[in-house]
Structure 1
């Protein structure tokens, strides 16, 4: 089932469908499988790291909702997750707050068609590209009757950018744009593939594999990724491999050698001279 007006392209690998394959989903085509297999030949641990990245996103978002009482979550670049055998960001958040509003965005036409086929109406996934934040924050879908009383971007939100910014040429501009648009006390969850302590041949191999599809991946050094938190308050435990990220240090999984993805959570502070955001205010 497709959505009228969407031009679906199955001739090139889609990063959303490649990710779905790596996560063990079933919403991929042969061209996506070929690209995913090219990634795996270069980095055999890629499916395991993809799963840990997926779990990091849900774990971090749920923690932010529970810790700070934030009731709205924007999952940007969500991909196709309904058939993945892992708990999505939405499920993880609702496990700690069933009333929290989780809204996803993606610019991939197949992702949008898939979501709307499963969920008629606004579908839970709106069209939006992280490289065009106006498309997201001024999206007419945010005024849908089902959302009108549940999304208030003048209040803090959790924004999830899981494995998204390494497909963006200027991620610092994205982070700056979020600072301009989000309310103080908002939390951003970021994960990003890094070239630090990763063999050059593996970085080159994965980069070449993704170039066969519709998106190119950009590995960055850890220092460059950490700098994306400039202007934000980095939250414990700071930036670390997604397999190790948890505020209390209890989540400890194997760190793989062939590809590394690091993650972090950061809060948008109050403007200088304004009142500090209290937990009570965030929860109200």
Structure 2
């Protein structure tokens, strides 16, 4: 590719800020995608310098999400999904997994990066029987999500909803009240709804490795907060956590033998699925 074509390929769509790395585009890079920019790749490489298996964490996180959606649609009869922190479309999106089992399933995707919404509206097409909608909103302002007219046009909040917070809460720092955000979202959902969450953890790091990781995350330009198992468990207070409980994404209802690699430490990602009583 010559320099003119390379510059054209890197030129962002109108309205998309490429001066700062964005979690969705950085995640896309770790998954091997092409919808990212130099600032995202530089940030991702800084993180990978301290946590070289981060691409495995991204991949296994995605696999867990599909298993969780398949379980909820198939075993609990959930037909509505609210996926916040959607990320860029790739194989195994929520609506694909849900509508494979229940074509009438309805999904609302939420993200705050315009490039995600551009791709989502073009690529995340629903089955004829179901529906999808895409909200441009920030998780730090949950009332704008729960009050959005497109959410209410797509989902019936008197019926159970699966709230998907997959690999997103670790971008919410303590000062932004992460537990209050989750409580607000759950307070708008009826009994029988479910919370699906994954979260990066430092539980498998030595103090020295944790210090290196924290410094890399600071240098990456993307706010990031590793949380312990106990801190993660606080998100599920008052909910009925389904078996196998709070565990690694590798160990939540695996659909085949896991083998020796990757290890739980390589992935360092907690998960749980819980029912709203």
> Structure 1 pair 51/182, CA: closer, same or farther in 2 (3 Å)?
same
2:244 corresponds in structure 1 to 237
> Gaps spanning 5+ residues in structure 2: where?
1-11, 126-130
> Gaps spanning 5+ residues in structure 1: where?
270-284
- Provide, for residues 205-258 of structure 1, a one-character-per-residue CA deviation record: whole Å limited to 9, x for no partner: 443334345531101111111121101111111011101111x78563632434
Residue 179 of structure 1 is aligned with which of 162, 183, 186? 186
Residue 271 of structure 2 is aligned with which of 252, 263, 269? 263
> Structure 1 pair 249/230, CA: closer, same or farther in 2 (3 Å)?
farther
2:141 corresponds in structure 1 to 132
1:225 aligns with 2:229: no
Residue 71 of structure 2 is aligned with which of 49, 63, 66? 63
Deviant stretches of 4+, over 4 Å: 117-120, 248-251
> Structure 1 pair 195/62, CA: closer, same or farther in 2 (3 Å)?
same
1:161 aligns with 2:165: yes
Cα RMSD for the two superposed structures: 2.4
TM-score of the superposed pair, with normalisation by structure 2? 0.84
SS of the equivalent of 1:257 reads helix
TM-score of the superposed pair, with normalisation by structure 1? 0.82
Structure 1: distance between partners of 2:171 and 2:248: 18
1:252 corresponds in structure 2 to 258
Correspondences of 1:47-196 after superposition (within 5 Å): 47-81=55-89, 84=90, 86-118=91-123, 124-142=133-151, 148=153, 150-168=154-172, 169=174, 170-196=177-203
Structure 2: distance between partners of 1:216 and 1:200: 20
Structure 2: distance between partners of 1:249 and 1:110: 32
Residue 51 of structure 2 is aligned with which of 39, 43, 52? 43
- Provide, for residues 93-128 of structure 1, a one-character-per-residue CA deviation record: whole Å limited to 9, x for no partner: 1222122112200112332233345569x9732112
Bigger CA drift: 251-260 or 41-50?
251-260
Structure 1: distance between partners of 2:151 and 2:228: 36
Structure 1 residue 174: deviation in Å? 2.0
